[in-house]
Chain A
Amino acid sequence: MNRSILLAFMTCLLISGCSDDKARERAPSNTGYSAYIQALLSDDGKQALVGATLYQDGNKITLVAGDMIVARQGKNSVALKGAKEEITFYSGWLPLNDPLQPVEFDIEYQPITAREDRWYPADIAYVDNGPGRYVGELSWSLTFPQRILLSAPSSGTLYSFKEDLITIQWNTESADVDKVRINASLECLKETKQIYSGSNSGEVIITVEDLFRNNAQTAQDILANLLVQALTLGLASGTSNTRVTECNVDIYVVAESEAELGNPFSGGTIVASQSDNATIRINLTTPLEL
């Protein structure tokens, strides 16, 4: 899965909880610590995009002055960095030696790493306040579900009529899958839609027309804007065509396992995901008016 698209998905999920799933939309606890943690495993299983938003007494926690969330698996680690669009959403790519091994998270004081993107030599001149109040206070871990495989449609499949049925089939042997999401990235519209969120049924059937019209998902504008920025390096804003004839569509099926956070958290969730994808081609004999 394209790294930019992965990051866009995660940002949307953790910023706004963009989902029609009521369980996902639960608010953080008004007392104590809460967190929304998500990790998306890459197709080859060699790295994962991890993200986190933390809360205390219902308010987002902002880590400053060198405090960072560090994700670690064995000798591999990554310090998560705040997003420019939302500095309380922390994300990063973690190299993995074994996707079946758990990923551990801690809050550490890393003043130089926190400033490594600055243009000047911040490693030799910085305000050293020492570890902040959250360092060593919070920790958690997650484990990925077994691999999911998208068996249909095959990449390159062509659909020529808006009435054509797109059969999306997937296989997963994992008993840990709590939910499956299917997202479609429509290149011609610069939009991404969530076309399914539900049980691990193994098959979803949707028409080509529904693929383009289905806009029942929450926070779509946020996700679309993030995706367009990622794909166009911020040079273009998403614009909707009203007439679709040709389009490449990336179908992503994401298997999620969800777990509760333990002590010291009183709320929030951990979601670990695996995904697979295929690109289909839409070339309509009769243009679709949106």
Chain B
Amino acid sequence: MRLTIFGFTLMALTTNSPSAEAASPWYAAAGVGYGKSDLSSWSGSHDGPYGLIKIGYHLNSLFGLEVGGLMFETFSTSGEDPTGQYRLTFEKHDLYFGPTLRYEPQRFLPIQATLGITRSRFSMTVKESFWDLAPQGSAKSSDSVTGVYFSIGMTTFEKNQISSRVMLDYVKRPDIFSSSPRSFDSKERGISLQLLWQP
């Protein structure tokens, strides 16, 4: 029974694979966006640009697979308590892999969505000073977490091998620095403009 279900699924995903005469099933894209970064234990937020690159493969006219990377702007925040003054700087990078869905309704622009598993690298640098009562310095720690990437949007332009998309992007990185009692989640929300090339 299981083999039968798997067989039908495989047939459905590959039935409409492009023929040798149609466009390549491969594509590459790059884009820039602007969005908001949040940390669950931080009352503030950061707005800034980000970039992304991706490579994908159309399994058929509906489904595909995609792998890509996202690069977000470094941001900093400061604070102070009786122990000393501190300045934190955060760096984030993500790689993702997952399926895509493309839907072309009649009389409307094509819609794409991607849902991926991410592997994220999150780094935190702390610079501390103590009002000249003790030597200042810095410390750094990094963590790698598995999260989720979701993107949805529509094609705004298509000609020959080039198309452009406007996409809403979302990244969640849960439980960063899980070994600490003060671990936190990180989220990104943004809108990006992407250029896609399909040979």
Q: Which residues of A contact B (CB under 8 A)?
A: 62-66, 81-84, 87, 114-115, 117-129, 132
Chain A residue at minimal CB-CB distance from B132 = A64
List A contacts of B105 (CB < 8 A): none
Interface window among B2-10, B15-23, B82-90, B157-165: B82-90
How many residues of chain B have a CB within 8 Å of chain A?
Answer: 32
B130 contacts chain A at the CB level, 8 A cutoff = yes
List A contacts of B137 (CB < 8 A): 127, 129
Give the docked Cα–Cα distance between A123 and B82 (Å): 16
Beta-carbon contact of A123 and B180 below 8 Å: yes
In the complex, which of the residues B83, B133, B179, B184 contacts A124, with contact meaning CB atoms closer than 8 Å?
B179
Give the docked Cα–Cα distance between A125 and B86 (Å): 11
In the complex, which of the residues B83, B125, B183 contacts A66, with contact meaning CB atoms closer than 8 Å?
B83
B115 contacts chain A at the CB level, 8 A cutoff = no
In the complex, which of the residues A63, A83, A117, A126 contacts B139, with contact meaning CB atoms closer than 8 Å?
A126
Beta-carbon contact of B130 and A64 below 8 Å: yes
Beta-carbon contact of A65 and B84 below 8 Å: yes
List A contacts of B83 (CB < 8 A): 64-66, 82, 114-115
A-B contact count (CB 8 A): 85
Beta-carbon contact of B84 and A125 below 8 Å: no
List A contacts of B42 (CB < 8 A): 119-120
Beta-carbon contact of B131 and A122 below 8 Å: no
List A contacts of B181 (CB < 8 A): 121, 123
Contacts A64-B84, A115-B83, A118-B81 known; A127 to B182 CB distance under 8 Å? no
List A contacts of B138 (CB < 8 A): 127
**Most B CB within 10 A of own CB, among A83, A117, A126:** A126
Chain A nearest CB: distance from B140 CB in Å? 6
Beta-carbon contact of B136 and A125 below 8 Å: no
Give the docked Cα–Cα distance between A4 and B190 (Å): 44
List A contacts of B136 (CB < 8 A): 127
Beta-carbon contact of A125 and B182 below 8 Å: no
Contacts A127-B126, A127-B139 known; A118 to B134 CB distance under 8 Å? no
